Structure 1
């Protein structure tokens, strides 16, 4: 049945064309934006997940920046520490050369003074963005450094910032606090230690005899020589002073004849240590940065003090090597974490893309098909609208 009032064919064709145009609009929007899910109306679940993950990815980008800053700070400290180790090694070599009695200790001290100045410069220059880990006030400054390492979100949606902790208390070369007594810097702390004359222990010699097995007779046992030691209490520090006394006393004893040794009692030992103290005091403030050997002479006690000073510097060199190792480990940890965060950020980006990105190959193919359907729809609508004209021709 044909009707002038209701054109069913045109209505069907128009409705089909309207659907095609709507689908084409969606496809064109996906092509122009590159997104399959551009807002919540496209897919609420996917849009919500993608929005959250994009926000987390921005936080990870900030973490990458923080790790870069931390890596630079550690790298500066490590570079300065590595250079300082070489300078202290040079000081040790100068002190060793000074053990030769023919060498002018004033000239050697002049070289050592320049090296000490270089160490101060290195410590003061190890600064990056206001952070100097090698020169700090170990009493007031926060030595437990924290570098932002990651941004995490658990299953419940709670977020957390995780840090990489670096303990700089073991790497400080120069302690800037005002109190010298509590200075703990590797280079600036006093190596003198504690000393009390009462710590000298003396054991007198004996002439014991013992009975032999067999026929009744006695055999004399060689006398036990007197012995000396310096026993430092557990709550006291054994530094250069005690070690110098112990070494000088041993050198003194080794140089005595048997008869002189037998006559070398506690009083004579203490009297000798009074002379050794004069040699000990010549070193000055007893730190690597202030040690002065210019007034040390060729006496046995002076030589003993010089040998102990070399050992003390060597111990500080070992401590600096350990500090450099710690910094190197921290540097490696930060580099590994930075690489991980970068890869994690890339993975999140890919995951979000799989949720919301449009497949451009599929969308372009779909657009071509919709354009063909649109043309056919327009043609069908045109044919349906021509039906009324055909009815009019029946009345001619």
Structure 2
């Protein structure tokens, strides 16, 4: 049935044309933006995943930027510490010359003073962006190294680095102690102890604990009747402190008891305990009281002693240089991984939201053809209504 009120053919052609034009608009947007998912309306799931990946990639990129600063800081320190090692080698040469008979000690000391200044110059100059990991101004650092993404957000990955001072610290440090103890079993020594202190704890000798009883050279001897012990305290020139606890001493301050607990009744502890306390080295360039930045020798003997301490300093400095190098290597690995991670993020986002331009170009041409045909079809359908006029002629 033909009707002038309802042209079904024209309506069908119009609907088909509208659908073609909608598809054509979508493909044209893909071609112009390069995205098949440009907004959440295009594909909410892919769009949200891509947005999160882009955000994570931005954090990883920022982490790499921060990591580059850390690498520059350690590179500066590494350059300075290499200079320090070279200078220490020169100090070793000078001290070796000082051990030779007839060495010009005065000239060698002048050279040592200059080399010591070179050490402090290198340490003080090893600063990057206000940070110096060689002079003890910072205790530890946590370098930003990456980002651990998770479903709930993520955490920053860091590389911890504990600094050591080559020179510059004046306080602090923790001493280390070693303790040894021996035992007494022979009856003669036990009898000697009984004679000196008595067979019980009722010794009432009027000597206050901690009172200096006698001195021998640099040693001080304290008597403590409460514990029935003598304490000998001595300190070497290099600062090493030795504290020895005895249960009996002869007139020259020597131990006559070699430790142990006697078997007689009500006996106190007669063990001989020796504790050697070594102060922690706060500065790697100061070993056993020898300061490499302020060396002065007076003889071949003192030069040999200083040379031994310089060798220890060199070992400590090279160990620290190795730590810096290992941290640099870890940073390089982290940087490489971050770069690869950002590439993976970019590829993942591209796979979800980027348009396939080969497919889009093919679809564009096909839809343009369909649009032309749809317009032609609508035109033909609209002409059908005009044919009704011929029925009334």
Q: TM-score, normalised by structure 1?
A: 0.72
Q: Give yes or no for contact 1:191–1:287 (8 Å, CA) kept in 2.
A: no
The count of residues paired between Structure 1 and Structure 2 equals 305
Distance in 2 (alpha carbons) for counterparts of 1:116 and 1:319: 17
Q: Which of 162, 166, 175 does residue 167 from structure 1 map onto?
A: 162
3-state SS of the aligned residue for 1:192? coil
Distance in 1 (alpha carbons) for counterparts of 2:351 and 2:97: 70
3-state SS of the aligned residue for 1:161? strand
Q: Deviations over 1:208-259 (max 9, x none)?
A: xxxxxxxxxxxxxxxxxxxxxxx994214599xxxxxxxxxxxxxxxxxxxx
Gaps of 5+ in 2: 176-235, 246-251, 256-272, 282-287
Distance in 2 (alpha carbons) for counterparts of 1:72 and 1:2: 85
1:5 equivalent in alignment to 2:5:
yes
Cα 1:114–1:315 change in 2 (3 A) is same
Distance in 2 (alpha carbons) for counterparts of 1:198 and 1:289: 34
1:144 equivalent in alignment to 2:140:
yes
Q: Give yes or no for contact 1:191–1:286 (8 Å, CA) kept in 2.
A: no
The equivalent of 2:238 in structure 1 is 192
Report the RMSD for the aligned CA atoms in angstroms. Answer: 2.9
Distance in 1 (alpha carbons) for counterparts of 2:16 and 2:243: 110
Q: Deviations over 1:279-338 (max 9, x none)?
A: xxxxx9731111212xx14xxxxx322211100001100111111111110000000000
The equivalent of 1:314 in structure 2 is 311
Q: Which of 363, 368, 373 does residue 371 from structure 1 map onto?
A: 368
Higher share in helix: 1
The equivalent of 2:149 in structure 1 is 153
The equivalent of 1:37 in structure 2 is 37
| 51-60 or 108-117: bigger deviation | 108-117
Distance in 1 (alpha carbons) for counterparts of 2:253 and 2:29: 94
Tell me the CA shift for residue 50 of structure 1: 0.5
1:286 equivalent in alignment to 2:300:
no
Q: Give yes or no for contact 2:173–2:280 (8 Å, CA) kept in 1.
A: no
Distance in 2 (alpha carbons) for counterparts of 1:191 and 1:324: 29
Gaps of 5+ in 1: 185-189, 204-230, 240-283, 298-302
Distance in 2 (alpha carbons) for counterparts of 1:382 and 1:360: 33
User: Which portions of structure 1, spanning 4 or more consecutive aligned residues, are displaced by more than 3 angstroms?
Assistant: 181-184, 195-203, 236-239
The equivalent of 1:208 in structure 2 is none
The equivalent of 1:105 in structure 2 is 105
Distance in 2 (alpha carbons) for counterparts of 1:183 and 1:121: 27
Tell me the CA shift for residue 63 of structure 1: 0.5
Distance in 2 (alpha carbons) for counterparts of 1:123 and 1:373: 77
The equivalent of 1:74 in structure 2 is 74
Cα 1:329–1:182 change in 2 (3 A) is closer
The equivalent of 1:234 in structure 2 is 276
Q: Give yes or no for contact 1:54–1:352 (8 Å, CA) kept in 2.
A: yes
Q: Which of 352, 356, 368 does residue 355 from structure 1 map onto?
A: 352
The equivalent of 2:258 in structure 1 is none
Q: TM-score, normalised by structure 2?
A: 0.72
